[in-house]
Chains A and B, each alone.
Chain A
Amino acid sequence: MATLFWVMTVGGLAIWAFVVGFSLYASRWKRAPVSEASAGKVILLAGVVFPVTVLTALLSYALWLMPSLRPFGGAEQAGLRIEVVGNQFWWRVVYHAADGSAVVSANEIRMPVGERVEFSLASADMIHSFWIPSLGGKMDLIPGRTNRLSLLATKAGTYRGQCAEFCGVSHASMAFPVVVMEPAAFDAWLDARRAPSPAAETGDPGQALFMREGCGNCHSVAGTPAAGTSGPDLSHVGSRLTIGAGLLRNDTDTLARFVAHATALKPGSQMPAYLGLPVEERAALAAWLKELQ
């Protein structure tokens, strides 16, 4: 893929320079007109023979490359399957391990390095497109369809992913961080998410606020009665890198800000702005959310 890109970029620039240079030669720099027969040969050689040769080679190479980039047909599956459901304007993420167990999360992707991971992509409302530029091409999330995409990360690190298909007012604010981890670290991370966060059962005042304000109608927090599904799962929200689908860095300040100003920060999102919530209550709520590690 990288080879294809560099060949095309360098080759393209060379061809461009040749065509423009040749046009300038033909129109300004040449001394005397050439014969019509020679000019006809130019059309045949530069306009037909050369492009056909180059294009045949490029097309064959690209077609040969395609199956290796997205190798999954009918029933084959990778060991780890990550289900992603696009929503305006956030991502539901469900990790399906090989043993059939599932872990629900949102707005962040974690995956092991060096292992091909399969994504099943669906949408709850509009067409979205799932794209992690550093890891590979994109695939649309289309209502009524489930698309498959497989990605292979070769280097651990944190990347940025984003919705690539215009999906409404806050399309620009529909991103997500991608953390590529060593396989052992990834397994440990995933295991830690199979159980509720310790903070979920502490009887923290933030938790009481969360329930009082009805947050649980839309959000789930494992280990509490909150089991809503129309918003992102918040079971371990404190450990995520960002909030608001890649919108803000995750800390207690931004959490409090998001609770109070969701509609301003993310126009068109379903999350209401809790402007009426007193500042200290916002802080308590944010503190508890941040503790959901």
Chain B
Amino acid sequence: MSDTPDRDGAKAAEEAQLRAVWANPTGWRYWTSVNNYQIGLWYGATAFAFMLFAGLLGLLVRAQLAVPQNDLISPELYNQAFTLHGTVMMFLFAVPIFEAVAIFLLPPMLGARELPFPRLGAFGFWSFLIGGVFVCGSIFFGAAPNSGWFMYPPLATSEQAGIGADIWLLGLSFIEVASLAAAVELIVGIMKCRAPGMRVNLMPLFAWYLLIVAGMILFAFPPLIAGDLLFEMQRMFDWPFFDPARGGDPLLWQHLFWIFGHPEVYIIFLPAIALLAMIIPTFAGRPIVGYSWIVLAAVGTGFLSFGLWVHHMFATGLPQISLAFFSAASTAVAIPTGVQIFVFIATMLAGRVIFSTPMLFAMGGIAIFVMGGLTGVMVALVPFDWQAHDTYFIVAHLHYVLIGGMLFPVFAGLYYYYPLIDGKHMSDRVGRLAFWLMFTGFNITFFPMHLAGLRGMPRRVHTYPADIGWDWLNLISTMGAIVLGIGMFAVVVDVTLHRRRQPKGETNPWKAGTLEWISEPEENWGVRSIPRIESRYPLWDQPNLAREVRAGQWYLADAGEGRRETLVTSVLDAEPEHVLRVGGTSTVTVVSAATLGTVFVALTFKLWLVSLVAGVAFITAVIWWLWTGTGEIPEKPEKDIGRGVSLPIYASGVKSTGWWAMFITMTGDGTAFASLVFGYFFFWTIHDDFTGGLAGPGILWPMTALALFAAAWAATLGAREANRRGNVASARLLLIAAALLSAAACAAALAGPWTAGMDPTSHVYPAIVWILVIWAAVHGGVGVLMQLYCLARSLAGRLTPTHDMELHNVALYWHFMAVTALVTFGVVGLFPEAL
């Protein structure tokens, strides 16, 4: 504490070291960066590129439909174009763009240095890029999927779907894995990495929304992954899940797809609304009115959105009472949605609104979205939907919802947050011009589609007769699409060209109150030091905060040990718990994504050997990643983070972020498993005798497998306890026993259907039994790898009685494994006998 120059010098050295620790690599190694700013930018730019590509496909579709009996493109190409348009917009733009924005914005918004698993984020990005290019590229070889973006069998399982269906299934499964990775990252980030003092009642609304959305991903995407699995088993090996001739049913796919597909609409919509919840208070110059109402709306929508899936199946001949339940939930979901809109209106009412370009896009989005919401209520009612279903009325409705509820808010976000990317503004003039072009173009394109649909025009037709009153409506739509396209083009020009000439502006140009505006575009460290938060709008209510944070006067201002670190805090009150060392630059992310991508691509072309080799390479890469990048025993137990606070560097069990990640991953995994079990009982309900008179796996082998899995589970828990008590030798022995028991359990599991001679191609009953048993056995196999990994860590001295994070996580995995085994073998072994 001597004189100021010394302290300034020390601070400058500290800052230089911090900057060096967080710096990106240079040269080609730049692409091995894992920092959230880089990943967020790459993710966002890639998603935007896919959006433009899908937009061009949309224009192609509109060009073909401009006049009746048009032969601009062949029906084959048309079908690929509309399928890819929908697929790319939904899977490669709408969901990834929110992941991109979240990865970019969340750390500074929460007052964190980084999200807890930066390498996982990078892995997700590379998976997304590889899968996306694979899916999009297919159209240039005439091999794009052509059965519509929801891929209904039997069309999509037939020869007519060609390799495009495999590309869709495998390419998108790969991307769904990336989405689940992002969900893990976001949930743990939001729950555990907030700045000290940022209690749940002070969390930025964006974080609340993203928490709910990430939770929804965990329950929405796995059913689709399960469906993809069944689908691909049918396409590759002729297992008849959707073939009615052998006991299957095409409707099972529709259930699984829409259990995913409807929540997905809200997974897309809520983050966009979250952007508005950040933008509107800034330009109203006051805190949001009805913070709790927003939480109500986000949580309520999150739940209700899972009760809507059958409203895509109102015309499939299900009992009316079933349809009615879903009609009721579809109506109810309008309530929280309406609340969100009126929260924004109330906030504007109570503030003085500055009508900037972002606000223009926000208001335009709301105007469009409300229209889509109202037609949504119309189609939620069964009698009207019987008429409107699968017509252009639906096409209009869904574009009003998605473009108003997602694209316009994202553009509002782009104009609003652009200064955070490189300190410059987007052009206000171009922005307003683009807005009006897009707004009018959009309405000219899509409003007439309501009328075309009411006049009987079904969707997905490559042409239509001239004399039935659809022609001029379609011509107007095509004109509007061109205007909309020009509007989008203006924004692209603005992003790529115009801004270069601009000078660098001030930070926080909109005078916003939330913490993300503290971040400095040229720095990678998120925040210079991690402050204590005492308000929902800290930059408005804590006047010296920005200066103190940038001067490094708050927590964790240094990286004295040369490591990237951030704070982990408690869930409710955000009390500091420990210092988390996050992963730095590494090639392992790229290698893992590339090998996993190779597995999926090779499977598409049925190159079994290549996919096997790549699979082994992927597992090796992941083990290398975990071995070198996680569970490291720190050189000292605690670190002084400044202001007299000292926190532990190592955590295991519930306190560690890894435990949360495992818990969240396994929740998603459990949902996929539940979807398969749903399939089993689905087949039971639709048949008088769902076994088709075929032999089942019996009781003996399933019960043996169950007993062995239970023993393996107990041995794993025993190993954790023994290790915790310092009894390392017995822990190791128990791990060996657990691994042997698990391997035996897997063998016993497969022995059931094997010894009964169940042929999965003969009927759906053996097929679904095999799938469940294989699911359990594969999870058992992963369990063995985990047990052996712990054993190796223990032998290598990297897992000790006090540093036992791996064992806790593996034990947690085995809790889920035990439930999986109980359900699997209870169902396949006992249920047929109980009937």
Contacts and interface: CB of A to CB of B under 8 A. Distances in A.
Report whether chain A binds chain B.
yes
Interface of A: 1, 4-5, 8-9, 12, 15-16, 19-20, 22-24, 26-28, 30, 33-36, 38-40, 42-43, 46-48, 51-52, 55, 58-59, 62-63, 65-67, 69-70, 121, 125-127, 129, 131, 133-134, 136-140, 142-145, 147-148, 160, 162-173, 267-268
B250 A164 contact: no
A51 B338 contact: yes
Given A4-B384, A59-B327, A12 B378 contact: yes
Contact of A171 (B343, B391, B460): B460
Q: Which are the 7 A-B pairs with shortest beta-carbon distances?
A: A144-B244, A137-B386, A47-B342, A147-B317, A172-B461, A133-B456, A62-B381
A65 B342 CA distance: 31
Most chain A beta-carbon contacts within 10 A, residue among B289, B323, B324, B327: B289
Contact of B374 (A15, A47, A139, A144): A15
13 contacts: A19-B370, A24-B363, A33-B350, A39-B289, A42-B346, A43-B290, A46-B338, A52-B335, A63-B327, A139-B386, A162-B458, A164-B389, A172-B75
B155 A168 contact: yes
Given A27-B348, A66-B320, A169-B76, 16 more contacts: A16-B371, A39-B349, A40-B290, A42-B349, A43-B343, A47-B342, A51-B338, A62-B382, A66-B324, A127-B154, A137-B387, A139-B386, A140-B316, A145-B244, A165-B390, A166-B147
A40 B346 CA distance: 7
A267 B75 contact: yes
Most chain A beta-carbon contacts within 10 A, residue among B245, B290, B345, B351: B345
A28 B387 CA distance: 40
Contacts of B456: 131, 133-134, 160, 162
Contacts, number: 232
A145 B349 contact: no
Contacts of B789: none
Contacts of A163: 458
B293 A27 contact: no
Given A8-B378, A33-B352, A51-B334, A1 B154 contact: no
B384 A8 contact: yes
B684 to A, nearest CB: 16
Nearest to A68: B383
Contacts of A133: 387, 455-456
A39 B315 CA distance: 42
A166 B349 contact: no
A30 B389 contact: no
B464 interface: yes
A253 B737 CA distance: 82
A40 B289 contact: yes
A47 B338 contact: yes
Most chain A beta-carbon contacts within 10 A, residue among B75, B352, B359, B463: B75
B265 interface: no
Interface of B: 74-76, 79, 147-148, 152, 154-155, 158, 160, 244-245, 248-251, 286, 289-290, 293, 315-317, 320, 323-324, 327-328, 331-332, 334-335, 338-339, 341-353, 355, 359, 363, 366-367, 370-371, 374-375, 377-378, 381-387, 389-391, 455-456, 458-464, 468
B367 A20 contact: yes
Nearest to B323: A66
B390 A164 contact: yes
A39 B347 contact: yes
A67 B319 CA distance: 11
A65 B323 CA distance: 13
Q: Is the interface of B mostly helix, strand, loop or mixed?
A: helix
A210 B385 CA distance: 45
B289 A36 contact: yes
Contacts of B370: 15-16, 19-20
Nearest to A121: B317
A52 B337 CA distance: 12
Contacts of A168: 155, 160
Contacts of B463: 172-173
Given A40-B346, A143-B154, A169 B75 contact: yes
Contact of B346 (A9, A43, A51): A43
Given A139-B315, A144-B250, A172-B461, A8 B353 contact: no
Given A55-B334, A171-B460, A5 B351 contact: no
Contacts of B349: 26, 30, 33-34, 38-39, 42
A26 B384 CA distance: 34
Given A40-B290, A66-B324, A19 B348 contact: no
Given A166-B147, A168-B160, A43 B76 contact: no
Contacts of A125: 154, 158
A9 B464 CA distance: 26
A46 B468 contact: no
Given A47-B342, A144-B250, A164-B458, A23 B386 contact: no
A40 B355 CA distance: 22
A237 to B, nearest CB: 20
Nearest to A61: B381
A23 B426 CA distance: 25
A38 B316 CA distance: 47
Contact of A27 (B147, B328, B355): B355
Nearest to B378: A8
Contact of B250 (A47, A142, A169): A142
A94 B330 CA distance: 37
Contacts of B462: 171-172
Contact of B348 (A23, A51, A131, A140): A23
Contacts of A42: 342, 345-346, 349
Contacts of B155: 126-127, 166-168
B293 A43 contact: yes
Given A125-B154, A169-B75, A12 B374 contact: yes
Most chain A beta-carbon contacts within 10 A, residue among B315, B327, B385, B468: B315
Given A26-B348, A169-B75, A268 B160 contact: yes
